[in-house]
DNA sequence: ATCCAATGGTATTTTTGGAGACCTTTGATG
DNA sequence: CATCAAAGGTCTCCAAAAATACCATTGGAT
């Protein structure tokens, strides 16, 4: 207990970059989240939560899905079983059978307790990812099919019944992400939406917010179609700030 | 071959959300990249490439590292062996031994061929993540230690010898990411830097760019310390555009 | 010179996951 | 009403990864 051994100077002795030398530990984190079973479960659940597969819709056949997820069919089946037991999926055998997403979401979390750090993590992530995506989408020069897709997603969200709103809202934002041409960014949007939807499930859905939200969607899509990045970004930011304030107030936390 | 079976109407028959029904296949992708060995290899290599562990610095002891990465020690050791064989690491036994990052980076890719879609993916991702992080960092109200850390990172990058530049540049941007308080965002910055550094390794390093880059860093950090999000974001964007143009011209691609 | 604690090295067992073959159910079609 | 193709269900075998215990090396401290 004599030697403190804190400042492990790089003992190779050569080209020493003396300052900084921050402990790398803070940047080291798990390469894989949980085991394959868990990761697959989360992955599929995320797709459902985000509306990538809507209630009533069928998932691809097991073999194909296993292949897409790069997971063995055994593993996938075990996960599908779990999701079924949790009430997310319904499975029907025979030709024209398959795995279907169930209509009613089984869960409504009522934990209004959220770790403030985690809340900050999620909200910061989302702001960056989604407002950035909106801007880039407006910078891209869009072809006719993309423009159509965007308009359709907007119309779907506008026309949505309250119980479908969250899914179709998420889909709209995912479509916007796709316009950037960055697969990575799309994944971020999906992840961000899944996280935020989880939080939103814990607070009431207000009709007035919904209306306001729809209005902002109109503006956002217009800015993207007009190729106006500045407006797109600022509208997106305003849109996100709305939810952020809402979440922070209901989950009673400050900055 | 009579039934086309394309529009798989949601056969549950209830609450049918008729329109959209986009095939979820485009959003389904592997839950895990490769096997554990590969993922661990990539993860550690990323930390090295990005300067999270600088040449000469020691990695945490195997047991601790395995624990942090959530990987068994056997797997980790196999990966460390590979990295050693590839010339990234040096291992010394005994007390005060450990695993050290080797001084000279072993590789310089000379493939100037990059898939344009991939280039677009990476650059879009990076622009969003890093300019967004810069903005949020400027919005945050920073405490003294954070301000000091930021200044130190800036000074380190400014003073860096050309061969250390890439690492210290990356570290600066990672520190900026950390100011946002979003772990997820930090991870994105790390990933983005690792990807871009790979690309930069394929093109020459110009002294004039380096100088210009340093000047932009000064402005960026000043904006963040001043709490000026707009400036921070636009300086960051300009900074990134510089590299983007450079990369596109050397890797001779449009879009 | 000896000790000893921190670190890497090795070997063994158990658990998890992947590959592939084969069985069962179902309903549209002829 | 028989057929058959497309889907889920089961089983078996093997490889990958995790867990655990124990061995070997090293250099500073006494």
CATH classification at residue A221: 1.20.120.530
Helix (H) or strand (E) holding A91, with range, is: strand A89-92
pLDDT at B226: 97
Q: Are residues A121 and A238 in the same domain?
A: yes
Q: Are residues A44 and A162 in the same domain?
A: no
In angstroms, rounded to a whole number, what is the distance separating the alpha carbons of residues A24 and B65? 11
How many domains, chain A?
Answer: 2
Picking from A82-91, A181-190, B98-107, B156-165, which range would have the lowest pLDDT averaged per residue?
B98-107
Among B240, B243, B159, CA closest to B201: B243
Measured in angstroms, the CA of A7 and the nearest CA of chain B are apart by 11
Which of A32-46, B101-115, B124-138, B240-254 has maximum average pLDDT?
B124-138
pLDDT at A209: 85
In angstroms, rounded to a whole number, what is the distance separating the alpha carbons of residues A214 and B239? 35
With a cut of 70, say whether residue B50 has pLDDT above it.
yes
Among B125, B231, B121, B241, CA closest to B185: B125
The dihedral formed by the CA atoms of A167, A170, A175 and A178, expressed in degrees to the nearest 10: -130
pLDDT at A132: 98
pLDDT at A19: 37
The neighbouring-strand residues paired with B98 are: B92
Give the residue ranges of chain A where pLDDT is below 70: 1-23, 105-111, 252-255
Q: Are residues A148 and A177 in the same domain?
A: yes
Instruction: Tell me whether residue B111 is in a domain.
Output: no
The dihedral formed by the CA atoms of A55, A61, A64 and A69, expressed in degrees to the nearest 10: 40
Rounded to the nearest integer, the mean pLDDT of chain B is: 87
For strand D, which nucleotides have at least one atom less than 7 Å from a protein CB?
A: 4-12, 16-21, 24-30
Instruction: Tell me whether residue B22 is in a domain.
Output: yes
In angstroms, rounded to a whole number, what is the distance separating the alpha carbons of residues A218 and B23? 24
pLDDT, tens only, A42-90: 999 999 999 999 999 999 999 999 999 999 999 999 999 999 999 999 9
Of the three residues B70, B101, B132, the one that is the final residue of a domain is B101
Q: Are residues B93 and B126 in the same domain?
A: no
With a cut of 80, say whether residue B21 has pLDDT above it.
no
Q: Are residues A123 and A245 in the same domain?
A: yes
Q: Find residues 149-168 of chain A whose CB sits inside 8 Å of chain B.
A: 152-153, 155-156, 160, 164, 168
Q: Are residues A141 and A59 in the same domain?
A: no
With a cut of 60, say whether residue B15 has pLDDT above it.
no
Number of Cβ within 10 Å of residue B34's Cβ equals 12
Q: Are residues B120 and B92 in the same domain?
A: no
Instruction: Tell me whether residue B255 is in a domain.
Output: no
How many CA atoms within 13 Å lie on the side-chain side of B63? 0
Mean pLDDT of B230-235: 97
Q: Are residues B147 and B238 in the same domain?
A: yes
The neighbouring-strand residues paired with B92 are: B98
Q: Find residues 59-98 of chain A whose CB sits inside 8 Å of chain B.
A: 59-60, 65, 68-71, 90, 96
Q: Are residues B20 and B134 in the same domain?
A: no
With a cut of 90, say whether residue B187 has pLDDT above it.
yes
In angstroms, rounded to a whole number, what is the distance separating the alpha carbons of residues B138 and B153? 16
- The residues of the protein lying within 7 Å (CB) of strand D read A 2-3, 32, 59, 61-63, 73-74, 77, 80, 91-95, 97-99; B 35-37, 70-75, 92-97
Among B81, B237, B225, CA closest to B142: B225
Of the three residues B74, B101, B128, the one that is the final residue of a domain is B101
Of the three residues A78, A101, A124, the one that is the final residue of a domain is A101
pLDDT at B26: 83
How many CA atoms within 13 Å lie on the side-chain side of A88? 21
Range of the domain at B144: 116-250
pLDDT at B104: 72
């Amino acid at each position: 207990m004599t030697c403190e051994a804190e400042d492990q100077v790089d003992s190779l002795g050569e080209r020493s970059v003396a300052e900084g030398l921050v402990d790398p530990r803070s940047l080291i984190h798990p390469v894989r989240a949980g085991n394959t079973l868990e990761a697959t479960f989360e992955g599929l659940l995320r797709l459902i939560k985000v509306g990538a597969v809507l209630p009533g819709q069928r998932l691809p056949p097991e073999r194909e899905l296993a292949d897409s997820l790069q997971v063995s069919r055994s593993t996938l089946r075990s996960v599908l079983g779990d999701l079924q037991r949790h009430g997310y999926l319904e499975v029907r055998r025979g030709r024209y059978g398959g795995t279907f997403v169930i209509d009613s979401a089984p869960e409504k979390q009522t934990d209004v307790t959220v770790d403030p750090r985690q809340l900050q993590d999620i909200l910061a992530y989302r702001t960056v990812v989604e407002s950035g995506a909106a801007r880039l989408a407006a910078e891209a020069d869009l072809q006719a099919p993309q423009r159509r897709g965007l308009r359709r997603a907007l119309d779907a969200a506008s026309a949505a019944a309250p119980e479908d709103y969250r899914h179709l809202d998420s889909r709209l934002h995912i479509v916007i992400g796709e316009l950037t041409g960055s697969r990575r960014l799309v994944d971020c949007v999906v992840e961000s939406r899944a996280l935020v939807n989880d939080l939103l499930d814990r607070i009431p859905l207000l009709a007035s917010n919904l209306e306001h939200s729809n209005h902002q969607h109109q503006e956002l899509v217009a800015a993207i179609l007009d190729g106006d990045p500045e407006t797109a970004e600022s509208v997106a930011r305003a849109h996100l700030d709305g939810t952020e304030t809402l979440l922070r107030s209901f989950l009673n936390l400050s900055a």
